[in-house]
Structure formats: C-alpha cells, structure tokens
Amino acid sequence: MTPSSETAQVMSASDIERALTRIAHEIVETHRGTAGLVILGIPRRGVPLARRLGEKLAGIDTDFDSHDQVGSLDITMYRDDLRTTGARTPEPTELPASGIDAATVVLVDDVLYSGRTIRAALDALSDLGRPETVRLAVLVDRGHRQLPIRADHVGKNIPTSRQERVSVRLAAIDGVSASDEAVVIQR
C-alpha cells in the first residue's frame, strides 16, 4: 500500500463472524441439514474461513463433523494466470475420507471478483470426483465478473471500482489478532 492510498474498513471482526454465522444457517436451510455436505476452502484465506464455517455448522447440527467434512482444494495448477503472475507454491488439497462423489460441496473463498479462481476450483474439483451439487460461499462479492459465476451464499456485497483492492485480513493468515480481523478497501 502506498502512502497516498486511502483505506476504508467495510467489515470488522464482529461483522465477519456474523456473516459466517448467517452463511452457515443459509447452508443448513438450503441443504435441509448437513448430511452429505462437504466444505472445501480455497487457499489461502478460504481455508480458515471454511474451517470457521465448519465449526458454525457443527454448532447448528450436531451430526456435522467439522474435522471430517471440512477440507481444502488447491487450485494452483488450474489457474489461467500462471504465465503472467509467476510461480506459486501449491497448497495441500485435503478431502474428507468419504471423498466428494455424490456429496454437496460448498466451495469457500474470501473475495469473489472476476470468477476465474472459482472456474479453476471447478476444474480441480472435477479431477477429484463427481459431486452431486457444487455451491459457492464467499465472504465478499465485489462484482466485476469476467465469467458467468455467481455465489450462492455471500457475507457482504461490496460494490467497488476495478482500481480498488479488497483485502481480507484474518488472524490465521495475516498474523493480526482475532479482534483486528477486517475487510478493507484500498483506493
């Protein structure tokens, strides 16, 4: 961030928690429970968000096992920008022991922007199995889609310009305290 850039906080730590709680309730309502449900976070920030979402789902439905039904999905080798952004270190893909075949998979990411990350996630997912349904949960939807992809569960819609940057700061990734977690727009 340059010294002349302006930063505006659009979600606080408590806003993030409320959004995740609401998304968890929406998932249970839409799915009519948690049987056959798998939550997969997209690295980097989607993974801790998926884990937190899994804990909330377990609090709503005691049949949901947040250790066995939450995992991660690395999309590094499926990205279409590897030629322009340089090398990336792949993150682990961790699937439930039961796999994803015939499951309802909820992909979790922090910010939905162009849709290209989700396209890569769908490609990666198709190489690992055949879910019955794939849904998408994001903390922030900022618009500007380049592909016809839409989130099923959104924490907050934040209209932005293409020049603005939306940053999600999480304790598990960014080293901030839990009370300092936030979503900020940098102009």
- pLDDT value for 179: 97
- pLDDT value for 1: 47
Asked if pLDDT for residue 57 goes beyond 90, the answer is yes
pLDDT band at 65 (very low <50, low <70, confident <90, very high): very high
- How far is C-alpha 101 from the geometric centre of its chain's CA atoms? 20
**Residues 171, 177: contact at Cβ < 8 Å?**
yes
**How confident is the prediction for the chain on average, in pLDDT?**
94
- pLDDT value for 64: 97
- If you compute the radius of gyration of the chain from its CA atoms, what whole number of angstroms results? 16
- pLDDT value for 36: 97
What CATH number does the domain located at 12-161 have? 3.40.50.2020
> Which residues lie below 8 Å from residue 27, measured CB to CB, with a gap of 6+?
34, 37, 53, 57, 106, 135, 137, 153
Asked if pLDDT for residue 31 goes beyond 80, the answer is yes
- pLDDT value for 4: 52
Asked if pLDDT for residue 99 goes beyond 70, the answer is yes
